[in-house]
């Protein structure tokens, strides 16, 4: 690995995560929440994987990344249901346990790319209904600097780990781990600690709506990588993810949000 690539790995994702946090502070929680739905962690991981391992490896990894949505869903659901009875510590243990069990099971699946994408697309509308029902309420949350640092460090560690062990893991398992819920776990823990389990559950449920952009990114990338250059494929995938996020946000804009998140310096 060249020094330039290594430097890019340890800086790109943390900078993107930091930019989302600063956007929340400057333009408010709506913009920050909108940006969080984009593949700010899995996208760069897949880029480095395609660059280092080749397009064929990356396409197979994308299947794992798509199925990884179900592992993330299992993680978030476990956190949400544990949070109704346990502290944030117990909820984290339960959620990560559910995640790794789901990854272990999903790693056994061998399905084609289009089948994986279709399966995710069909299942996504039902995902929000699986979360516990909580009373809608408006709260003010202060985004601590420690939260920002943890998000950025966790993102850098994930990029380095997944890309470094990609050859040993194989394409499918590497793709699954590319979807590791860095952002949602950190957000849930700090929200749970500061504003209670109802806020954390509502937040995790709301993140589900960002997965449509993740699906669009993964699908376009999987379709274009075999025929186009790395640059063209990723630009097309990013564009489709942004368009999908804009459309999905307009569709739910009329609904009153259950929670509002206000970030401020601490």
Residue 23 has pLDDT above 90, yes or no: no
Residue 30 has pLDDT above 70, yes or no: no
* Consecutive H or E run containing 260: none
Q: CA separation (Å) from 60 to 51, 81, 178, 187, 205?
A: 14, 33, 12, 30, 29
For residue 114, the model assigns a pLDDT of 95
The helix/strand/coil state of 137 is coil
Cβ atoms of 246 and 189 closer than 8 Å: no
For residue 260, the model assigns a pLDDT of 42
pLDDT digits (tens, 9 = 90+) for 82-93: 999 999 999 999
Instruction: State the average pLDDT over residues 141-164.
Output: 75
Token pair belonging to 30: 């709506």
Cβ neighbours for 243, distance < 8 A, ≥ 6 positions apart: 216
For the entire predicted model, the pTM comes to 0.83
For residue 34, the model assigns a pLDDT of 59
pLDDT digits (tens, 9 = 90+) for 192-216: 888 788 888 888 888 888 889 999 9
């Amino acid at each position: 690995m060249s020094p330039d690539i290594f430097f890019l790995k340890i800086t790109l994702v943390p900078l993107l995560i930091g930019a989302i946090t600063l956007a929340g502070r400057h333009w408010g929680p709506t913009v920050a929440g909108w940006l969080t739905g984009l593949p700010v962690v899995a996208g760069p991981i897949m880029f480095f994987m395609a660059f280092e391992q080749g397009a064929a490896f990356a396409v197979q990894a994308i299947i794992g990344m798509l199925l990884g949505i179900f592992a993330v869903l299992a993680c978030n659901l476990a956190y949400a249901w544990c949070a109704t009875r346990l502290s944030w510590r117990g909820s984290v243990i339960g959620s990560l346990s559910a995640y790794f069990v789901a990854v272990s099971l999903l790693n056994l699946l061998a399905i084609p790319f289009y089948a994986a994408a279709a399966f995710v697309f069909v299942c996504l509308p039902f995902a929000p209904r699986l979360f516990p029902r909580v009373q809608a309420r408006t709260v003010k949350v202060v985004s601590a600097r420690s939260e920002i640092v943890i998000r950025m460090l966790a993102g850098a560690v994930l990029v380095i780990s997944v890309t470094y062990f990609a050859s040993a893991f194989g394409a499918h398992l590497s793709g699954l781990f590319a979807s590791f819920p860095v952002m949602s776990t950190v957000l849930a823990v700090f929200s749970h600690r500061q504003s209670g389990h109802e806020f954390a559950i509502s937040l995790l449920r709301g993140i589900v709506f960002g997965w449509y952009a993740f699906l669009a990114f993964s699908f376009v990338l999987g379709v274009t990588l075999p025929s186009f250059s790395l640059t063209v494929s990723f630009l097309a995938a990013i564009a489709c993810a942004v368009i999908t996020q804009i459309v999905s946000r307009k569709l739910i804009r009329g609904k009153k949000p259950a929670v509002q998140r206000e970030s401020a310096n601490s």
